[in-house]
Amino acid sequence: MKKVRIALAQINNKVGDITGNMQLMINAVHQARDELNAQLIIFPELSSVGYPPDDLLLRPYLYQQVNKALKKITEHADGIEIILGYPRMVGQYRYNAASFIGQQTIKSTYHKQKLPNYSVFNEKRYFTSGSENCLINLHGFKLPVALFICEDLWCDISLNQLKQHQPQLLVVLNASPFMQNKHIERSNILRNSAKYLNCPIIYINQVGGQDELVFDGGSLVIDRDGSVCHQAPYFNSALSIAEFNTPNNQTFRPIKTQIPSPMGDIALIYQALVLGFSDYVRKNAFQSALIGLSGGIDSALTLAIAVDALGSDNVQAILMPSRYTAQSSRDDALSQAKLLGVTCRVLSIEPAFKSFLKILETEFKHLSEDLTEQNIQARCRATILMAISNKKGALVLSTSNKSELAVGYTTLYGDMSGGFCVLKDILKTQVYQLAQYCNREKTRILPNIMTKAPSAELAPNQTDQDTIPDYSILDEIIERYVEKQQNLKQIVQAGIDQATAEHIIALINRSEYKRHQAPPGLCLSNNAFGRARRYPITSSYHNSI
Distances (CA, A) of 358 to 325, 355, 361, 411, 413: 21, 5, 5, 21, 20
Residue 89 burial (C-beta neighbours within 10 Å; 0-12, 13-18, 19+): middle
User: In the chain, how many H helices and how many E strands?
Assistant: 16, 20
The span from the CA of 469 to the CA of 186, in Å, is 35
State yes or no: is 150 an active-site residue.
Answer: yes
Residue 434 phi/psi, 5-degree rounding, is -70, -35
Q: Which of 14, 112, 283, 428 is catalytic?
A: 112
The span from the CA of 514 to the CA of 502, in Å, is 20
Spell out the residues 6+ positions from residue 21 whose beta carbon is closer than 8 angstroms to its own: 11, 13, 14, 47, 48, 49, 50, 69
Q: Which of 45, 151, 212, 502 is catalytic?
A: 45
Strand pairing category for 81-90 and 93-102: antiparallel
- Nearest Cα to 269, choosing from 183, 336, 369, 343? 183
The span from the CA of 495 to the CA of 397, in Å, is 37
State yes or no: is 45 an active-site residue.
Answer: yes
The span from the CA of 275 to the CA of 133, in Å, is 35
The span from the CA of 456 to the CA of 329, in Å, is 11
Neighbouring C-beta atoms of residue 61, cutoff 10 Å? 8
The span from the CA of 324 to the CA of 385, in Å, is 19
Strand order in the sheet with 201-205: 135-136, 145-149, 169-174, 201-205, 220-222, 228-231
Q: Which of 14, 81, 134, 150 is catalytic?
A: 150
The span from the CA of 345 to the CA of 337, in Å, is 10
State yes or no: is 523 an active-site residue.
Answer: no
The span from the CA of 194 to the CA of 379, in Å, is 55
The span from the CA of 411 to the CA of 418, in Å, is 12
Give 292's strand partners: 318
The span from the CA of 497 to the CA of 376, in Å, is 34
Coil, helix or strand at residue 96:
strand
Residue 237 in contact with residue 10, Cβ under 8 Å?
A: yes
Neighbouring C-beta atoms of residue 499, cutoff 10 Å? 9
User: What is 107-152 written as a DSSP string?
Assistant: EEEEE------STT--GGGT-PPP----EE--TT--S-EEEEEGGG
- Nearest Cα to 401, choosing from 285, 294, 241? 294
- Nearest Cα to 395, choosing from 376, 357, 359, 421? 421
Residue 82 in contact with residue 212, Cβ under 8 Å?
A: no
Residues tagged active-site: 45, 112, 150
